[in-house]
Structure 1
């Protein structure tokens, strides 16, 4: 019986979408997180999807990462990507002011598609190892994150600095969001849903 219950309870999947201008290191961050290797010359071709089992605060979960290409040709395709995501890592390069300005547009598009101001979202300043070429100040980035009421983290796909942190922090936000939604729907129905992992006794 126990094994049957286990089979019907697959690991929870957290769906993460990588957004940001082309060339800011979205793929490099994703590949560093997935395989612990730094890929410098990555062909920016199409959107790629990755899935990995990880242990989040003692619970085995799956993370599903959609690495978007940055310049999606069709708004409809981009909207579909955004619709499918549960949380977003919005990446810019600290060496490129333009990519930082573009984050505002990405956030606007995400909020429009999700129709929700409170979506799990992290602002990520990548290429922190290139401090000498910095164009976006820490203060500037923090101010924007503060205005959006989201966390800001600086990463380096090259040195692996904070790479795991941004993915795990976002998964925690997604998980807490799901738990809140589950509590609300349980409260409304007045009964427990059997599908939720946390209701198994």
Structure 2
């Protein structure tokens, strides 16, 4: 069973906990449930016939974005949280434009190899909308992210959002495994080729040595024969 870590980033009150509660229990939580909600929620889904366990990790950006916060400390803390994540939901509240325009500041400390989805929450509150879908769409295209507007209260696009990100993460992991497998095969084939070359060189070296030894023996035999013939002529003269 594959296990992925999905980080859910957003300001306090942006709808992070409600989204996670909807994904976990398929219901909209009451205020008490949100208050007591754990930082890490484990859910299980089936993707392309494979069972995947996902750790949904909620992280509050309020401290990171606070004007009186220590920039270095906040950035280091956020960077640590994003080190080993497979996917990321970057949350903004469509009824609060400030949560949308803070996205660029957050992205500066997020690793570039993380699959990110821009998530607009509270999509059911259309009368209070401050960020249009077109604005968010332009932003997502500019950043190269996918965009999903959700409503945890109505259950709109919540499950679709999760499955889309899990599918992307699974696809990327499969590509990595295939690359490693192909690389291993290439390395193994190169090792075989090197081994064969070593054997050929060893055979050639033995052959050269044998030829040299044969040549030396023949030269020695010729020399002995020459001495014998010289000795025979000496006896005849005497």
TM range (shorter): 0.7 to 0.9
Q: CA RMSD in A?
A: 2.0
Pairing 1:57–2:48 present: yes
Residue aligning to 1:22: 12
Q: Per the alignment, in what secondary structure is the counterpart of residue 109 of structure 1?
A: coil
CA distance in 1, matches of 2:145, 2:2: 24
Residue aligning to 1:164: 159
Cα drift, residue 40 of structure 1 = 4.5
Task: Give the number of aligned pairs.
Answer: 176
Q: Per the alignment, in what secondary structure is the counterpart of residue 11 of structure 2?
A: coil
**Residues 99 and 85 from structure 1, CA distance in 2 versus in 1: closer, same or farther, beyond 3 angstroms?**
same
Cα drift, residue 191 of structure 1 = 6.8
Unpaired runs of at least 5, structure 2: 65-72, 188-238
Larger CA deviation: 94-103 vs 182-191: 182-191
CA distance in 2, matches of 1:140, 1:53: 33
CA distance in 2, matches of 1:154, 1:161: 8
Higher Rg: 2
**Residues 62 and 191 from structure 1, CA distance in 2 versus in 1: closer, same or farther, beyond 3 angstroms?**
farther
Cα drift, residue 69 of structure 1 = 2.3
Question: Under a length normalisation based on structure 1, what TM-score does the superposition of the two structures give?
Answer: 0.80
Residue aligning to 2:170: 175
CA distance in 2, matches of 1:107, 1:167: 20
CA distance in 2, matches of 1:72, 1:170: 26
Unpaired runs of at least 5, structure 1: 1-10, 193-201
Assess if the C-alpha contact under 8 Å between 2:85 and 2:114 holds in 1.
no
Equivalent position to 1:66, from 57, 61, 65: 57
CA distance in 1, matches of 2:48, 2:90: 23
Cα drift, residue 38 of structure 1 = 1.2
Equivalent position to 1:146, from 127, 137, 141: 141
Q: Which has the bigger relative contact order, CA under 8 A and spacing at least 6?
A: 1
Bigger helix fraction: 2
CA distance in 1, matches of 2:51, 2:122: 30
Residue aligning to 1:126: 121
Assess if the C-alpha contact under 8 Å between 1:17 and 1:82 holds in 2.
yes
CA distance in 2, matches of 1:102, 1:137: 16
The 4+ residue runs of structure 1 with deviation greater than 4 A are: none
